[in-house]
Amino acid sequence: MSQLRSKVITLYKHLQYLGRDYPGLNGPQKFRKQVHDAFMKNKDEQDPKKIVALLAQGRYLAKEVEALYSLKKYRTVKQRYND
């Protein structure tokens, strides 16, 4: 169970770190609050299978956010050097 706990904490910290560059006027604060609320909603979960499923969902979200950032960087570079 402690291995799952450390994985959950690591994922939480990673998502909070990713949230610092989230686009939008209140994007970073909103994203971090949504992540915090999602983790607090499931804080009492005891079933290891459910925890593993939630971790997979969180990792998927992290990959999606990273892809969003990559696309944003690509569009910026393309816009700057396309002229």
Using a 10 angstrom Cβ sphere, with 0-12 exposed, 13-18 middle and 19 or more buried, the burial of residue 15 is buried
Question: Residue 43's pLDDT is what?
Answer: 92
- Is the pLDDT score of 83 beyond 70? no
The set of residues, in sequence order, having a beta carbon less than 8 Å from that of 51 and lying 6+ positions away, is 4, 8, 45
- The upper half-sphere exposure of residue 14, i.e. CA atoms within 13 Å in the direction of its Cβ, equals 16
Question: Residue 53's pLDDT is what?
Answer: 95
Listed by start position, the domains of the chain span 1-82
Task: Assign residue 13 a region (left: φ > 0; alpha: ψ between -120 and 50; beta: otherwise).
Answer: alpha
pLDDT, tens digit, 9 for 90 and up, residues 33-44: 999 999 999 999
The pTM score is 0.82
pLDDT, tens digit, 9 for 90 and up, residues 19-74: 988 887 888 899 999 999 999 999 999 999 999 999 999 999 999 999 988 888 88
* Length of the chain in terms of residues written: 83
